[in-house]
Structure 1
Amino acid sequence: MKSTLFAAGILLASSAHAATINAASLTGPSTPLQTAQYGVRNYSAPVLVDGLHDPASYMAAPALPVWQFASGDPTGGVLTFERQTAPATGWHSWSRKGKVLVTGGSAATANRVYTVYNGQQLVAAINEAGNDAKIIRVIGHIDLRWSENNTVFREYTSYADQKYGGSISIPSNTTLVGINDAQGRPARITGTALLIGGELALTPGGSEETDFKNWIAAGKDGDDYPTWTRNVIVRNLVIDTPWDVNPEDSANAYADGVTVSRAQNIYLDHITMSDGDTPESMATGTFKTRHDGALDVVRGSDYVTISNSVFNKHHKTTLVGNGDSGRAWSDEGRLHVTFSGNWWDGATTRLPLNRYGQVHLFNNLITGSVSTTNADIKFASGTDARYRSNMLLENNYYNITGLKLSEFCGKAIKGKDFIGFRSSGHIFTSDKAGTNAVDGQCGYALPAAANLWTPPYLYALQTATSTLTAVPAAAGAGKLK
C-alpha cells in the first residue's frame, strides 16, 4: 500500500511498509578487499601506458594549499554524529531485496574506531579493519604526497605513482567522517582520490565483463555477485579534486575526487568539493585537462545518495554512468541515485550527466554565471539526461546570471536518448529574466507508462523557493559537530 501524506504543507511520499535490511548483512564473506594496491607510493618515472600518458605531459601541481595539519583531537575522542546511521530518505535506503538501513561503521567496536591525522594513518586503519564495521575520524589535512607524519612532501612522479600511491580504497562497512579541528575548520583531503569499490573479475586475470555476464546467464542475482563494495557512509569532508600530473591525453584526465564504482548502498553527505588551489586554468601547454570528475557514480553502482553537499569551481562535476551501449551489461537497470539538498555554485558542467540511471533530484540549488570571464566557474550546462536515463527533477532553484529564460531549456536542463524525463516545480532567476516559475519539462514528452516510477522512499518535498536559504544554511563540510 502506497500513501501520500501532508504535514505542515509539505508533501511526503511513502511506500509500503516492509522489513528493513541492515546493509552490513548484504556484505558476504567473499566480498574482496581492494585496498592493498592503493595508498603506497612507487615514485616511478613517467612512461606511455597503452599509448596514453605521454611523459611530455608531466606537470606537477602548480600551487599547493595552505596546509591545516592537526595533531590533537579537540573533542577528546568523544563521538557525536559518527555512530549515526544514514537516514531513510534517498535511493541508498533501498535494494532489490527491499528497504535497507545503511549503517556504515556505526556498530564499530572500540578497537575499530580510529582518529587519523595523515594519509598513512588513514590507509593503515583501513587495512587493519578490512570489511569489519569501522569508524575513521579525519582531523586536519590528508594528502598522500606527504609522509613521515606530514613532514616530507614529494609530488607524484607519474600516472602509475598517482593512480596507486595517490588513491585510497574504502571497503565495505565503513563510516569515514571529518572532525572539525581546534580552529573549527573542517577536515580536508587534497591530492588524493577516494575510491569506493572497483570493477573486478571473479578470479585474478579474469574478465570483469565476461564473469558478470556468465553470472547473470546462469540465472544468478546480480546483487549477489561477490565483488560489490557495500554499506559506506562518507560525511563532513572538504575534498579537493586531484591535479593529474600525467593525464591520458589533451582532453582526458584520470583521477576523480570520489569514484563510486561497483558499489551499493552508499551515503555521501555534507561534502564540499572543488578544484581547490589548482583550477583547470593553471594548466599550460597541450595537456590542459588536469581534472576528471568531482564525484562520479559508475560501473553498475546502485542505491546511492548524495545530499547536503557543495560543488564549486570544477568542470565535469558528476557522471552517473560513464558509457553508452558498451556499458549496458553492467549499467542497465542500475544506477539508482538521489541528489537532494545540494548546492552547485560555480560548477560548470554535469550537474549531473546521467546515462542509464534512475535518478531523483529534488530541492537542490544551482547558482552560477554564463557571463563571467572566469572559465573555472563559468556555467556551461546543468542536468544532462543522456542514453537510457530516466530522471525525476522536482523543485530545484536556479539562479544563473546572464542566462535568459528562453535559454533555460537547453542550458540548465537538456537531454537526448533518454527513456524517461520528468521535471517540475522549479524557480529560475537571473539578471536577464527576473523571477520565473518554470515547469522544467522543456518540451520533452512524458515517459511511456512502462518507464514511469515513483521513489520508494519517504521524502519531504519543499518548495523551490525554500531551497534558496535552506540549502546554503545546511550544505557542505563543517556543518556536522
Structure 2
Amino acid sequence: MKTMKYLAAAYLLAGSVAQAQTVTADQLAIAQQGPALGWATVEGETTGGANAAPEQVFVVSTRAELVAALGGDNASNASNDTPAIIFVAGTIDLTADDAGNPQDASAFADPDYDLDAYIAAYDPQTYGFEAEPEGPLEDARERSEQNQKAHTMIRVGSNKTIIGMDGARIINGTLLVKRVENVIIRNIIFEDSYDFFPQWDGTDGSQGNWNAEYDLISIEEATHIWIDNCSFSDGARPDDHLPPVFGRVKQHHDGLIDIKKLANYITVTDNRFFDHDKVHVIGSSDSRTENIGHLRVTFAGNWYDNVRQRTPRVRFGEVHVFNNLFTPRADGPYSFSYAFGAGKESRILSEANAFEISADIDAGRIFRHYKGEIAQDSGSVVNGEALDLLALYNAANPEKPLADQVDWTPPYSYELADPATIADGIRARAGAGALSEL
C-alpha cells in the first residue's frame, strides 16, 4: 500500500511540538468522500474538508490538538473556514486541560456554587413548583455552566471534515456546529456530554424536572452537514448512575444530535444511537416560526438501540426517516416512550423502517402528537409484520389525530430496502468502526 505522509501539526502544544503522523492514501480517500443521498446533497454539495491543502491535514489525539487544528482559539474557531481534514486518533477528553489531564466539576464550578445548598434552596416542597429557580445560588450555577461550556463545547468552522481513525473517541463534551456550512463528521465514538451543573425546574411538567445543557453534537444556523458511521451514547454515566433528587432523575445529558434554529440540508446516516433518553430534537421551540422552510434533515440506515424518545421529535422541518432500525426496551432507565414526535407544523416522512419491540410496547406509541397535524409512514414493519403506524396511533389517540399524508416529496434519489431484511445489515454497518482502512 502506498503511504502518503502529511505534517499533522506545526504548532506548539503543552510546551512541545506535536508529532507528525502518517495518513495513508486510503484513509485520505475516505476522508474526502461526501454524502451519496439525503438533504445534504440538495442545493449544493457537502464536501467538508475534501479540498484541504496538505498542510491542513491533521492527526490529533488531545483536546488542545483538536482546538489547534480547528484554528487555534476555541472562542473564534467557528470563523475559520479554511478547508481542513482532521483525523482523530485515540480518545479525546474535552474536559482535559492543556496538559491533557481530565478535569471534574471542581475545575469549572463558580466559587459561590454549592450543590447541597442549591438542592436545599430549591426543594419544591418549600420553593414550590410555580417558578424557575432564581437568586444567588441559581446565578452561581449558571456561571458554573458557562465555565464548563467555554471549555468543553468545541466550535467547528466551515469546510471541515473530522474523521476518526480506528477506535477514535470524543468524550465528555460537545462539538458545536453553529453559523457555518459544509461540515462532515465520521467514524467517531461520542460519549457522555455530561453537564456537571444541571438546572432544577419545578415548572417543567407536573412534577418538575432536572434539565441538562449539552448535546454530543449540536447543529444550529448551519447548512450542508453530514454525520456518518458514528456511535453515540451516555457512556459510563447513564441517567440512573446517581439517585433521584426531588423524586426525579437528575438528568446530566441532553441530546445526542440536536438540530436547531435555521439549520438546513443535513444527512445523518449509518450511525448507532444507544443507551440514552432524548436523542434528536429538530427545532427547539414552537415560537421560532423563522424555521419554516428550514430544518430539512434525512435519517437513513441508523440503529436506535435502547433509547427512550425523540428519534426524532420535529418542529417545522421536512424530515425524512427511512430504512432505520429501532430496538427499544420496555424497562430500564431508557424505557421506550415514543419514536416520532410530530411537533408544530412538522412534516415527518417515515418509510420502510424496522421496529423490533416486545409485547410490553404498543406499536400505537411509535408516533406521538406534539401540536403537529400531519405525518406519514409507509412500508414500515413491526417484528417483521407490515403495520399501519398512523392508523394505530390515531385509534389510540382519537382526540389528537394525525393526518396521514405529508405535502412534500424528497428532492433527491434514494432506494428503499425491504425493511423486513435490513436488521442484520444495519447492526453490522451502523456506528463507528465499520469504515474500512481507518
TM-score normalised over the length of structure 2: 0.77
Q: Which residue of 2 aligns with 1:174?
A: 160
- 2: CA distance, partners of 1:414 / 1:403: 17
Q: Which residue of 2 aligns with 1:438?
A: 387
Question: Structure 1 residue 401: deviation in Å?
Answer: 1.7
Paired residue secondary structure (1:472): helix
TM-score normalised over the length of structure 1: 0.70
Q: Deviations over 1:355-378 (max 9, x none)?
A: 1110000000000221x3x21x32
Change (3 A) 1:259 1:366: same
Kindly report which structure 2 residues correspond to 1:8-47, keeping only aligned pairs within 5 A, or say none: none
Q: Does 1:320 align with 2:271?
A: no
- 2: CA distance, partners of 1:251 / 1:388: 28
Change (3 A) 1:141 1:417: same
- 1: CA distance, partners of 2:298 / 2:327: 19
- 2: CA distance, partners of 1:81 / 1:479: 16
Q: Quick check: 1:243–1:290 contact (8 Å CA) kept in 2?
A: yes
- 1: CA distance, partners of 2:321 / 2:253: 25
Q: Deviations over 1:45-86 (max 9, x none)?
A: xxxxxxxxxxxxxxxxxxxxxxxxx98957568634443332
Q: Quick check: 2:342–2:373 contact (8 Å CA) kept in 1?
A: no
Q: Does 1:269 align with 2:238?
A: no
Q: Quick check: 2:39–2:412 contact (8 Å CA) kept in 1?
A: yes
Q: Quick check: 1:283–1:290 contact (8 Å CA) kept in 2?
A: no
Kindly report which structure 2 residues correspond to 1:403-414, keeping only aligned pairs within 5 A, or say none: 403=360, 407-409=362-364, 411-414=365-368
Flag structure 1 segments of 5+ consecutive residues without an equivalent: 1-69, 181-185, 198-227, 430-434
Change (3 A) 1:416 1:289: closer
Paired residue secondary structure (1:88): coil
- 1: CA distance, partners of 2:260 / 2:217: 11
Q: Which residue of 2 aligns with 1:432?
A: none
Q: Quick check: 1:82–1:135 contact (8 Å CA) kept in 2?
A: no
Q: Which residue of 1 aligns with 2:214?
A: 255
- 2: CA distance, partners of 1:381 / 1:270: 24
Q: Quick check: 2:380–2:419 contact (8 Å CA) kept in 1?
A: yes
What letter is aligned with 1:85? Q
CA RMSD of aligned residues (A): 2.1
Paired residue secondary structure (2:428): helix
Q: Does 1:468 align with 2:423?
A: yes
Q: Which residue of 2 aligns with 1:164?
A: 150
Q: Does 1:150 align with 2:100?
A: yes
- 2: CA distance, partners of 1:270 / 1:441: 30
Kindly report which structure 2 residues correspond to 1:118-157, keeping only aligned pairs within 5 A, or say none: 118-128=62-72, 130-151=80-101, 153-155=103-105, 156-157=107-108
Change (3 A) 1:403 1:74: farther
Select the residue among 417, 420, 428 that pairs with 2:374.
420
Q: Quick check: 1:193–1:241 contact (8 Å CA) kept in 2?
A: no
- 2: CA distance, partners of 1:344 / 1:89: 20
Q: Deviations over 1:290-317 (max 9, x none)?
A: 1111110001101111110000111111
- 2: CA distance, partners of 1:231 / 1:266: 6
Kindly report which structure 2 residues correspond to 1:229-244, keeping only aligned pairs within 5 A, or say none: 229-244=180-195
Q: Which residue of 2 aligns with 1:279?
A: 238
Q: Quick check: 2:354–2:381 contact (8 Å CA) kept in 1?
A: yes
Q: Quick check: 1:71–1:117 contact (8 Å CA) kept in 2?
A: no
What letter is aligned with 1:262? E
Q: Quick check: 2:373–2:403 contact (8 Å CA) kept in 1?
A: no
What letter is aligned with 1:317? V
What letter is aligned with 1:142? I
Q: Which residue of 2 aligns with 1:458?
A: 413
Q: Does 1:291 align with 2:272?
A: no
Paired residue secondary structure (2:187): strand
Q: Quick check: 2:377–2:404 contact (8 Å CA) kept in 1?
A: no
Change (3 A) 1:311 1:83: closer
- 2: CA distance, partners of 1:154 / 1:291: 16
Q: Percent identity?
A: 31
Q: Which residue of 2 aligns with 1:401?
A: 358
Q: Which residue of 1 aligns with 2:38?
A: 90
